[in-house]
């Protein structure tokens, strides 16, 4: 039994494919590294069509569409489109026919239809654009009315929420935005049914939200997820967290009964229990991982974590134990500056 894992290496402008072997003790095996993607720090996987849409930060920036060979891990470019702003986060919706992007530098969110035909794919002209400061994340999720897209704005301390039409149109929900605590720096978001959680960059918290059947979020508490033993202080926009020894929260993912979060100043992953009501509790464990862990991924069964660090050239495989602690199972080489990880699930669309 095996799966593919893809890792974006921003410093060298590449994507590395790894084989996740799950016969016996789980392990990672390196396959192929595909270059030609300057500054690539995000991609979205259409696993049903074996396509990867990868953002690059050239001049001008753009999105490359690549075909994935599952046997070798090689990626072959099939299309490339210039975009107005470099993309920080990409997600797919409506069965891979709509691509959503969030741009931190451009303060914008966009939607592009994906045109498929003759075994190829290309991005059409954008159908919607929104503007908030330092957008860091966009996540689509099913709702009673259809599909809702959530855009997380670090600079404006909010989550913006829209109904996403199959044609790529965005229609604001009521309310259009939900506030996060001022100066917390909301960054990445996870949605699971009636609940959602946001990791903050500056305050090092998990913010919990209740989610109505038709999509709107409402605040439902918060918990600190940074190890207090490191003495990290609250950060702010424009600060240097390394020089000033500040909180530098990054990513989060659901792993069964747990949320796993990453913090870059301490280079640790936190294991946060979540109850049936979606409320997070104090972390039960802090696990050292690769230096400066911006991004990581969790397998669909919630049992394995693949973590990378921006100051490392290794991907680390960790097992989620029944008590929420993480056990390292080994590493595999990737490229320089790895910062984005996705597991390619069989026949599923991200």
Give DSSP secondary structure letters for 73-107: --EEEEEEEE-SS--SEEEEETTTTEEEEEETTTT
| Helices vs strands, H then E, count in the chain | 1, 29
Burial (Cβ within 10 Å: 0-12, 13-18, ≥19) of residue 307: buried
Check residue 290 and give its pLDDT: 98
> Domain residue spans in the chain?
35-297
- In the chain (350 residues long), the average pLDDT of successive 10-residue segments reads 93 98 95 98 96 97 97 96 97 98 98 90 97 98 97 98 98 98 98 98 98 98 98 98 98 98 98 96 98 98 98 98 98 98 73
Tell me 229's DSSP state.
G
At 224, which helix (H) or strand (E)? strand 217-224
C-alpha–C-alpha distance, residues 36 and 16, integer Å = 12
Tokens of 211: 């989610």
52-55 CB contacts, 8 Å cutoff, 24+ apart:
52/6, 52/15, 53/90, 53/92, 53/99, 53/114, 53/123, 54/8, 54/15, 54/90, 55/83, 55/86, 55/87, 55/88, 55/90, 55/101
CB of 159 within 8 A of CB of 180? yes
C-alpha–C-alpha distance, residues 194 and 296, integer Å = 24
Tokens of 248: 């530098």
Closest CA to 177 of 150, 205, 155: 150
The CATH architecture that domain 35-297 belongs to is 7 Propeller (2.130)
C-alpha–C-alpha distance, residues 189 and 86, integer Å = 20
C-alpha–C-alpha distance, residues 99 and 219, integer Å = 27
Check residue 348 and give its pLDDT: 46
C-alpha–C-alpha distance, residues 128 and 150, integer Å = 14
Check residue 344 and give its pLDDT: 96
Can you tell me whether residue 228 is helix, strand or coil? helix
Check residue 349 and give its pLDDT: 42
Rounded CA Rg of the chain: 19
* 123, β-bridge pairs: 114
């Amino acid at each position: 039994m095996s799966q593919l894992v893809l890792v974006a290496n921003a410093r060298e402008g590449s994507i590395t494919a790894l084989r996740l072997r799950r016969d016996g003790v789980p392990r990672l095996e390196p396959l192929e590294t595909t270059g030609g993607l300057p500054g690539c720090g995000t991609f979205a996987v259409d696993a049903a069509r074996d396509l990867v849409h990868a953002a690059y930060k050239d001049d001008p920036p753009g999105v490359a569409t690549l075909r994935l060979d599952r046997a070798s891990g090689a990626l072959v470019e099939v299309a490339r489109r210039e975009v107005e702003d470099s993309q920080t986060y990409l997600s797919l919706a409506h069965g891979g026919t709509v691509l959503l992007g969030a741009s931190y530098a451009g303060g914008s969110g966009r939607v592009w239809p994906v045109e498929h035909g003759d075994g190829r794919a290309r991005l059409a002209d954008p159908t919607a654009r929104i503007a908030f400061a330092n957008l860091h994340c966009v996540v689509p999720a099913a709702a009673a009315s259809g599909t809702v897209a959530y855009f997380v704005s670090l600079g404006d301390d909010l989550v913006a929420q829209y109904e996403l039409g199959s044609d790529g149109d965005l229609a604001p929900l009521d309310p259009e935005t939900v506030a996060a605590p001022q100066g917390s720096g909301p960054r990445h978001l996870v949605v699971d049914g009636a609940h959602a959680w946001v990791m903050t960059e500056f305050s090092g918290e998990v913010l919990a939200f209740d989610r109505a059947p038709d999509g709107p979020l409402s605040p439902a508490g918060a918990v600190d997820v940074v190890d207090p033993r490191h003495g990290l202080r609250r950060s702010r926009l424009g600060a240097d967290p390394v020089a000033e020894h500040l909180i530098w929260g990054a990513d989060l993912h659901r792993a069964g009964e747990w949320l796993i979060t990453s913090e870059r100043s301490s280079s640790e992953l936190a294991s946060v229990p979540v109850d049936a009501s979606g409320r997070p509790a104090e972390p039960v464990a802090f696990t050292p991982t690769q230096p400066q862990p911006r991004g990581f991924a969790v397998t669909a069964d919630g049992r394995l974590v693949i973590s990378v660090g921006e100051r490392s050239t290794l991907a680390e495989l960790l097992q989620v134990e029944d008590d929420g602690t993480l056990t390292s199972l080994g590493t595999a080489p990737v490229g320089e500056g790895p910062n984005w990880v996705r597991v390619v699930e069989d026949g599923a669309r991200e």
